Amino acid sequence: MSSQGGDARFVVREAVADEDRAACFLVRKEVFVGEQGVPEDIEYDAYDAGAVHVLAVRTEDGQPLGTGRLLFGAAGIAKTGDAAVGSLGRLAVAKAARGLGVGVALVRAIEECAAARGLTAVDLHAQTHALGFYERLGYEVYGPEFLDAGIEHRAMRRALNGH
Protein backbone atom coordinates (compact mmCIF):
# COMPACT_ATOMS: atom_id res chain seq x y z
CA MET A 1 0.00 0.00 0.00
CA SER A 2 1.44 3.31 -1.04
CA SER A 3 -0.64 6.35 -1.76
CA GLN A 4 0.47 9.76 -2.88
CA GLY A 5 -0.50 13.16 -1.56
CA GLY A 6 -2.64 15.19 -3.94
CA ASP A 7 0.25 17.42 -4.93
CA ALA A 8 2.98 14.72 -4.98
CA ARG A 9 4.89 16.37 -2.11
CA PHE A 10 4.59 13.24 0.02
CA VAL A 11 3.76 9.55 -0.08
CA VAL A 12 2.13 7.38 2.58
CA ARG A 13 3.15 3.76 3.04
CA GLU A 14 2.81 0.98 5.56
CA ALA A 15 5.85 1.11 7.84
CA VAL A 16 7.23 -2.41 7.65
CA ALA A 17 11.01 -1.88 7.65
CA ASP A 18 12.76 -1.15 10.96
CA GLU A 19 13.88 2.27 9.72
CA ASP A 20 10.29 3.20 8.81
CA ARG A 21 9.03 2.19 12.25
CA ALA A 22 11.85 4.21 13.83
CA ALA A 23 10.74 7.21 11.74
CA CYS A 24 7.17 6.74 13.01
CA PHE A 25 8.38 6.79 16.61
CA LEU A 26 10.51 9.88 15.91
CA VAL A 27 7.47 11.83 14.65
CA ARG A 28 5.41 10.68 17.64
CA LYS A 29 8.16 11.78 20.02
CA GLU A 30 8.36 15.20 18.34
CA VAL A 31 4.59 15.80 18.45
CA PHE A 32 3.31 14.03 21.55
CA VAL A 33 6.30 14.17 23.89
CA GLY A 34 7.97 17.38 22.65
CA GLU A 35 4.98 19.56 21.75
CA GLN A 36 2.20 18.18 23.94
CA GLY A 37 4.16 17.08 27.00
CA VAL A 38 2.98 13.45 26.99
CA PRO A 39 5.35 11.44 29.21
CA GLU A 40 7.58 9.31 26.97
CA ASP A 41 6.99 6.21 29.09
CA ILE A 42 3.28 6.21 28.18
CA GLU A 43 3.65 7.30 24.54
CA TYR A 44 5.04 3.92 23.53
CA ASP A 45 3.12 0.82 24.61
CA ALA A 46 2.84 -2.91 24.19
CA TYR A 47 0.40 -2.41 21.30
CA ASP A 48 3.12 -0.91 19.08
CA ALA A 49 4.68 -4.31 18.33
CA GLY A 50 1.56 -5.79 16.70
CA ALA A 51 0.06 -2.62 15.22
CA VAL A 52 0.00 -1.62 11.58
CA HIS A 53 1.95 1.63 11.37
CA VAL A 54 1.69 4.03 8.43
CA LEU A 55 4.28 6.65 7.57
CA ALA A 56 4.12 9.77 5.40
CA VAL A 57 7.44 10.89 3.94
CA ARG A 58 8.43 13.86 1.80
CA THR A 59 8.86 12.67 -1.78
CA GLU A 60 12.02 14.65 -2.53
CA ASP A 61 14.15 13.46 0.40
CA GLY A 62 12.27 10.84 2.43
CA GLN A 63 11.91 13.14 5.46
CA PRO A 64 9.26 11.69 7.85
CA LEU A 65 6.20 13.96 7.96
CA GLY A 66 3.56 11.99 9.84
CA THR A 67 2.43 8.68 11.23
CA GLY A 68 -0.49 6.77 12.65
CA ARG A 69 -1.31 3.23 13.70
CA LEU A 70 -4.11 0.70 13.47
CA LEU A 71 -4.87 -1.81 16.19
CA PHE A 72 -6.91 -4.87 15.20
CA GLY A 73 -7.44 -8.43 16.36
CA ALA A 74 -6.91 -8.90 20.11
CA ALA A 75 -5.48 -5.39 20.47
CA GLY A 76 -8.42 -3.91 18.59
CA ILE A 77 -10.88 -5.81 20.76
CA ALA A 78 -9.08 -4.53 23.87
CA LYS A 79 -9.52 -0.95 22.62
CA THR A 80 -12.97 -1.11 20.97
CA GLY A 81 -14.65 -4.18 22.46
CA ASP A 82 -15.54 -5.38 18.95
CA ALA A 83 -13.49 -7.71 16.71
CA ALA A 84 -14.90 -6.01 13.60
CA VAL A 85 -13.75 -2.52 14.65
CA GLY A 86 -10.18 -1.28 14.37
CA SER A 87 -8.63 1.40 16.55
CA LEU A 88 -6.87 4.32 14.85
CA GLY A 89 -4.36 5.98 17.12
CA ARG A 90 -1.11 7.85 17.55
CA LEU A 91 -1.88 10.06 14.53
CA ALA A 92 0.82 12.70 14.44
CA VAL A 93 1.94 15.19 11.80
CA ALA A 94 5.24 17.06 12.14
CA LYS A 95 4.75 20.80 12.68
CA ALA A 96 6.50 21.67 9.40
CA ALA A 97 4.11 19.41 7.43
CA ARG A 98 0.78 20.64 8.81
CA GLY A 99 -1.66 22.03 6.26
CA LEU A 100 -0.36 19.83 3.41
CA GLY A 101 -3.03 17.14 3.67
CA VAL A 102 -0.76 14.66 5.45
CA GLY A 103 -3.24 13.99 8.25
CA VAL A 104 -6.08 13.24 5.84
CA ALA A 105 -3.84 10.92 3.78
CA LEU A 106 -2.75 9.06 6.93
CA VAL A 107 -6.33 8.57 8.15
CA ARG A 108 -7.43 7.29 4.73
CA ALA A 109 -4.41 4.93 4.57
CA ILE A 110 -5.28 3.52 8.00
CA GLU A 111 -8.87 3.03 6.87
CA GLU A 112 -7.59 1.16 3.79
CA CYS A 113 -5.50 -1.09 6.06
CA ALA A 114 -8.58 -1.72 8.23
CA ALA A 115 -10.79 -2.56 5.25
CA ALA A 116 -8.12 -4.89 3.85
CA ARG A 117 -8.25 -6.80 7.15
CA GLY A 118 -12.03 -7.17 6.94
CA LEU A 119 -12.88 -4.57 9.59
CA THR A 120 -16.24 -2.80 9.27
CA ALA A 121 -15.47 0.41 11.18
CA VAL A 122 -12.66 2.42 12.75
CA ASP A 123 -12.75 3.97 16.22
CA LEU A 124 -10.44 6.63 17.55
CA HIS A 125 -9.94 8.82 20.59
CA ALA A 126 -9.64 12.38 19.31
CA GLN A 127 -8.15 15.25 21.23
CA THR A 128 -11.04 17.69 21.53
CA HIS A 129 -9.25 20.38 19.49
CA ALA A 130 -9.15 17.89 16.56
CA LEU A 131 -12.85 16.92 16.56
CA GLY A 132 -13.63 19.07 13.51
CA PHE A 133 -10.81 17.45 11.51
CA TYR A 134 -12.19 13.97 12.12
CA GLU A 135 -15.82 15.05 11.63
CA ARG A 136 -14.88 16.35 8.15
CA LEU A 137 -13.56 12.84 7.42
CA GLY A 138 -16.86 11.22 8.40
CA TYR A 139 -16.22 10.31 12.05
CA GLU A 140 -19.01 10.73 14.58
CA VAL A 141 -18.57 11.51 18.27
CA TYR A 142 -20.03 9.18 20.89
CA GLY A 143 -19.72 8.95 24.65
CA PRO A 144 -18.54 11.51 27.19
CA GLU A 145 -15.36 13.56 27.21
CA PHE A 146 -12.43 11.93 29.02
CA LEU A 147 -8.81 12.61 29.90
CA ASP A 148 -5.93 10.66 28.36
CA ALA A 149 -2.37 11.72 29.26
CA GLY A 150 -3.94 14.83 30.82
CA ILE A 151 -5.50 15.87 27.47
CA GLU A 152 -9.28 16.05 26.83
CA HIS A 153 -10.52 13.46 24.31
CA ARG A 154 -13.76 12.17 22.78
CA ALA A 155 -14.42 8.76 21.24
CA MET A 156 -15.34 8.76 17.54
CA ARG A 157 -16.27 6.11 14.98
CA ARG A 158 -16.60 5.84 11.20
CA ALA A 159 -18.17 2.93 9.36
CA LEU A 160 -16.11 1.78 6.40
CA ASN A 161 -17.57 1.59 2.90
CA GLY A 162 -20.35 -0.94 2.61
CA HIS A 163 -21.01 -1.10 6.38
Which residues, 6 or more positions from 156, have their beta carbon under 8 angstroms from its beta carbon?
Answer: 123, 124, 125, 126, 131, 134, 135, 139, 140, 141, 142
More confident: 54 or 44: 54
Q: Give a three-class secondary structure readout of the chain.
A: CEEECCCCCEEEEECCCHHHHHHHHHHHHHHHHHHCCCCHHHHCCHHHHHCEEEEEEECCCCCEEEEEEEECHHHHHHHHCCCCEEEEEEEEECHHHCCCCHHHHHHHHHHHHHHHCCCCEEEEEEEHHHHHHHHHCCCEEEEEEEEECCEEEEEEEEECCCC
Calpha distance 126→130 (Å, rounded) = 6
pLDDT of residue 7: 58
Average pLDDT of the chain, as a whole number? 92
Its pTM stands at: 0.91
The pLDDT, as a whole number, for residue 161 is 80
Dist CA 39 CA 29 (whole Å) = 10
Q: Per-residue pLDDT for 163 more than 90?
A: no
Tens digits of residue pLDDT in 79-135: 899 999 999 999 999 999 999 999 999 999 999 999 999 999 999 999 999 999 999
pLDDT for 8 equals 79
Q: How far is CA 30 from CA 22, 37, 103, 131, in A?
A: 12, 10, 15, 21
The rounded percent of the chain whose pLDDT value lies above 90 is 84
